């Protein structure tokens, strides 16, 4: 009979099962543009015609933001975009408003569904659901 393999006081099988659970989560990686972490429903906004559907506390998920989108930042709990970087409009305004932002994900508007609860970590550039 072989001894149990333990790491930090835990059975190795427990550690393996915990690791596989973490891999089950889907997510995106982008530019960590504004620090902080938020979990909230997503509001996928493709253009100005969708602005009215955004509720206070939603995560704004958009292809890109321009100055015309600034009023939505006052309602958003976080920002996620397909395109953008540390000096883009979305990044600068998110920091001014003190809300987490992950920009430049490439596919956020295609992979995140409207109303889906997501976690945005603007400190490490990750978005999970």
pLDDT of residue 101: 99
pLDDT of residue 19: 47
Distance CA 11, CA 112 (A): 36
Would you say residue 15 lies in a domain? no
pLDDT of residue 21: 45
User: Which one has a higher pLDDT value, 13 or 46?
Assistant: 46
pLDDT of 78 strictly over 70: yes
pLDDT of residue 25: 78
Would you say residue 13 lies in a domain? no
Read off the pLDDT of each residue in 54-69 and give the average, rounded to a whole number: 98
Domain residues for 49? 26-128
Would you say residue 1 lies in a domain? no
Q: Across all residues in the chain, what is the average pLDDT? A: 90
Identify the active-site residue in 88, 89, 103, 104: 89
Q: Output the domain CATH number for residue 95.
A: 3.50.30.10
**Domain tally, the chain:** 1
CA angle (43, 95, 33) in 5-degree steps = 75
pLDDT of 52 strictly over 50: yes
Which whole-number Å values give the CA distances from 33 to 78, 80, 87, 128, in the listed order? 11, 10, 8, 16
pLDDT of 1 strictly over 80: no
Q: What is the percentage of the chain residues whose pLDDT exceeds 90?
A: 81
pLDDT of 22 strictly over 60: no
Would you say residue 34 lies in a domain? yes
pLDDT of residue 129: 96
Would you say residue 11 lies in a domain? no
Distance CA 24, CA 21 (A): 5
Task: Decide if 63 contacts 79 (C-beta within 8 A).
Answer: no
Query: Does pTM top 0.75 for this prediction?
Result: yes
- To the query of whether residue 89 is one of the catalytic residues in this protein, the response is yes
pLDDT in tens, 27-42: 999 999 999 999 999 9
Distance CA 107, CA 63 (A): 8
């Amino acid at each position: 009979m072989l001894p149990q393999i333990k790491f930090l006081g835990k059975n190795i099988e427990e550690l393996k099962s915990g690791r596989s659970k973490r891999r089950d989560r889907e997510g995106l990686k982008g530019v960590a543009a504004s620090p902080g972490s938020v979990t909230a429903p997503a509001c996928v906004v493709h253009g100005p015609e969708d602005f009215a559907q955004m509720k206070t506390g939603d995560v704004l998920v958009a292809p890109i933001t321009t100055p015309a989108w600034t009023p939505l930042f006052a309602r958003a709990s976080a920002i996620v975009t397909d395109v953008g970087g540390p000096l883009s409009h979305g990044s600068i305004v998110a920091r001014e408003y003190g809300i987490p932002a992950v920009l430049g994900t490439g596919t956020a508007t295609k992979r995140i569904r409207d109303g889906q609860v997501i976690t945005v970590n603007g400190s490490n550039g990750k978005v999970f659901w």
